[in-house]
Amino acid sequence: MSKRRTRSRQAPAPSTAPCPCGLPAPLQDCCGRLHRGEVQARTAEQLMRSRFSAFAVEDRGYLLRTWHPAARPDRLDFEPGLRWRRLEILATTEGSPFHTEGTVEFRAHYTQAGRPGKLHEVSRFVRHEGAWVYHSGQGARTPSGPVGPVS
């Protein structure tokens, strides 16, 4: 993980590109609003979806801003050749606008070096200074490759 890489490798998504989170809206009108700071996530699931989209478009700044300070890495590098393709939300526990904690269980599909794989994770989200942030997650990637944070 090189400290020199600071810019995204992916080309910006066209304004009409579907949102990677799986909802039926263009990225700019869906998770893009959160990425640009126009709105905050109202639920843990909405933050999960926006973070998946941020991984898909390699928005390092948004990912770091939405990571709890106590758990946030000093740096975040993207794996070369890894492309996040599809998100499945399997379960959500708490995490509503009225909660202070919540979990989201999901399956994130990717390709790496042309081979498909998936990450199955349960992510924990908490409120920090009033905003939902990612705290931690437990998961595994298959068929091969290191376990890495996705949410």
- How confident is the prediction along the chain (151 residues), in pLDDT tens digits per residue? 333 334 444 544 556 889 999 999 999 999 999 999 999 999 999 999 999 999 999 999 999 999 999 999 999 999 999 999 999 999 999 999 999 999 999 999 999 999 999 999 999 999 999 999 999 999 887 765 444 555 4
- Is 11:20 a contact under the CB 8 Å cutoff? no
- pTM, two decimals, is 0.84
**22 lies in a domain?**
no
Q: What is the pLDDT of residue 143?
A: 66
Q: What is the pLDDT of residue 107?
A: 97
- Is 86:109 a contact under the CB 8 Å cutoff? yes
| Residue showing tokens 């068929």 | 143
Helices (H), 12-121: 31-35, 44-57, 60-65
Q: What is the pLDDT of residue 16?
A: 80
Q: What is the pLDDT of residue 141?
A: 79
The helix (run of H) or strand (run of E) holding residue 86 is strand 82-94
Instruction: For residue 120, give the 3-state DSSP assignment.
Output: strand
**Total domains, the chain:** 1
Q: What is the pLDDT of residue 6?
A: 40
**88 lies in a domain?**
yes
Q: What is the pLDDT of residue 149?
A: 53
**36 lies in a domain?**
yes
**14 lies in a domain?**
no
Give the domain CATH number at 128: 3.10.450.50
Q: Is the peptide bond before 143 cis (omega within 30 degrees of 0)?
A: yes
**77 lies in a domain?**
yes
Which range of residues forms the domain containing residue 121? Answer: 27-142
What proportions of the chain, in percent to the nearest 5, are helix, strand and coil? 20, 35, 45
**7 lies in a domain?**
no
- Is 48:82 a contact under the CB 8 Å cutoff? no
Q: What is the pLDDT of residue 7?
A: 41
